[in-house]
């Protein structure tokens, strides 16, 4: 079983290899009859072009890289899944590259990645999508990129996000409508732009309903479960204790629930808890967490699709979209008991 290449196909079909190449790439200037003939030989010989040879000639790798540094496994898996869907649609593959934003020499790390893999483009997820330094570097290198879930302003690029502020506002209003006025808030990681947006949604909802914002009710988390546990302790030790807690993601909310349960504080009767993201854990625990669902797969899919289009067709494509976040009510929030 010999290797079948463009040459074997050309010989077999009785045409030049340039003609085979034309058929391969759907180029014009091939007579229908010739095209048919070549396509038939493709089938007969079970030919598929070698992407590496193609890559060398066209200076392409047909590989998209995905950058992330995120404590949430479920978030990462969803990002990967959306990215893969887009890649496979266009015959690309996905290479994953977790790394640390704060790690010394992020730029060096990325530089090495580019040298060893010659990616055609890069999808940035938070907190990388928020890094102006990284974006500047990629621009300088001329490497196409797309940003997911970032709110930083940068008009000449591809960016898909969901409406974090609106989601947080709706979730907070849900709590307010249940009668809560003392609503604690746990912030996310300061490197993520979503952190400020969610916080701002919370504050706007309070303001809309004439509830004074109280800094003492705000705890600084960083999206990790561990930081949620620390914040939970601070909040549950407050006197008077708030009647509801809104954590900036579900992991931190789960940590609040765990501590409340340990302390025999009934949830939701004595304390309402809400999260953000609709991570699997939100429905794997009891009571299930009220939360905001973001279309992470779709955000990433759209971002990568446009990234690939920008690589293959229009180099200076601009695409900016905001998708909707949705309130999911479960058992962890309930009317305030008097």
Partner DNA sequence: CTGAAAGCGCTTACAG
Instruction: By CB under 7 A, name the binding residues for DNA.
Output: 3, 5-7, 15-19, 21-22, 24-25, 28-31, 33-34, 47, 49-50, 53-54, 56-59
The single residue among 7, 27, 44, 56 that binds its own copies, judged by CB under 8 A, is: 56
Q: Is 39 in the site for its own copies (CB under 8 A)?
A: no
Distances (CA, A) of 216 to 155, 242, 260, 327: 37, 10, 19, 26
Q: Measured from the CB atom, is 16 or 208 closer to DNA?
A: 16
Q: Measured from the CB atom, is 21 or 291 closer to DNA?
A: 21
Q: Is 117 in the site for its own copies (CB under 8 A)?
A: yes
Q: Which does 68 bind (CB under 5 to 8 A by kind): its own copies, DNA, none?
A: none
Q: Measured from the CB atom, is 201 or 295 closer to its own copies?
A: 295
**Touching its own copies, residues 164-193 (CB under 8 A):** none
Q: Which does 195 bind (CB under 5 to 8 A by kind): DNA, its own copies, none?
A: none
CB of 310 to its own copies, least distance (A): 20
CB of 112 to DNA, least distance (A): 15
The single residue among 34, 261, 312, 320 that binds its own copies, judged by CB under 8 A, is: 261
CB of 73 to its own copies, least distance (A): 4
Torsion of CA 84, 90, 91, 97, to 10 degrees: -40
Q: Is 40 in the site for its own copies (CB under 8 A)?
A: no
d(CA 93, CA 212): 51
Q: Is 128 in the site for its own copies (CB under 8 A)?
A: no
- 262 burial (CB, 10 Å; 0-12 / 13-18 / 19+) is exposed
Q: Measured from the CB atom, is 193 or 300 closer to its own copies?
A: 300
Q: Is 81 in the site for its own copies (CB under 8 A)?
A: yes
Residues that bind its own copies (CB under 8 A): 48, 50-53, 55-56, 61-63, 73-74, 76-77, 80-81, 84, 91, 93-98, 115-118, 225, 251, 254-255, 257-258, 261-262, 280-281, 284-286
């Amino acid at each position: 079983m010999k290797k079948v290449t463009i040459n074997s196909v050309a010989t077999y079909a009785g045409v030049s290899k340039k003609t085979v190449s034309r058929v391969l790439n759907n180029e014009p200037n091939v007579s229908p009859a010739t095209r048919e003939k070549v396509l038939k030989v493709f089938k007969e010989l079970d030919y598929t072009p070698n992407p590496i040879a193609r890559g060398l000639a066209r200076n392409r790798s047909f590989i998209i890289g995905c950058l992330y540094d995120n404590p949430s496994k479920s978030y990462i898996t969803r990002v990967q899944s959306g990215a893969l869907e887009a890649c496979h649609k266009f015959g690309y593959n996905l290479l994953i590259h977790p790394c640390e934003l704060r790690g010394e020499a992020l730029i060096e790390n990325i530089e090495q990645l580019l040298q060893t893999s010659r990616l055609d483009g890069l999808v940035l997820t938070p907190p990388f999508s928020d890094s102006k330094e990284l974006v500047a570097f990629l621009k300088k290198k001329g490497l196409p990129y797309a940003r997911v879930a970032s709110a930083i302003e940068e008009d000449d690029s591809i960016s898909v996000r969901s409406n974090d502020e609106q989601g947080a506002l709706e979730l907070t209003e849900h709590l307010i409508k249940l009668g809560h006025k003392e609503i604690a808030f746990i912030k996310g990681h300061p490197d993520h732009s979503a952190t400020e947006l969610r916080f701002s949604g919370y504050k706007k909802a309070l303001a809309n309903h004439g509830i004074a914002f109280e800094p003492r009710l705000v705890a600084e988390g960083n999206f990790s479960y561990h930081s949620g546990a620390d914040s939970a302790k601070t909040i549950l030790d407050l006197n008077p204790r708030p009647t509801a807690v809104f954590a900036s993601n579900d992991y931190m909310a789960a940590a609040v629930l765990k501590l409340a349960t340990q302390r025999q504080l009934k949830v939701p009767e004595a304390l309402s808890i809400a999260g953000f993201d609709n991570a699997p854990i939100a429905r794997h625990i009891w009571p299930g967490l009220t939360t905001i669902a973001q279309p992470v797969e779709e955000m990433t899919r759209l971002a990568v699709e446009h990234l690939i289009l920008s690589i293959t067709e229009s180099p200076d494509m601009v695409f900016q979209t905001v998708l909707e976040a949705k309130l999911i009510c479960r058992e962890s929030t309930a009317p305030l008991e008097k």
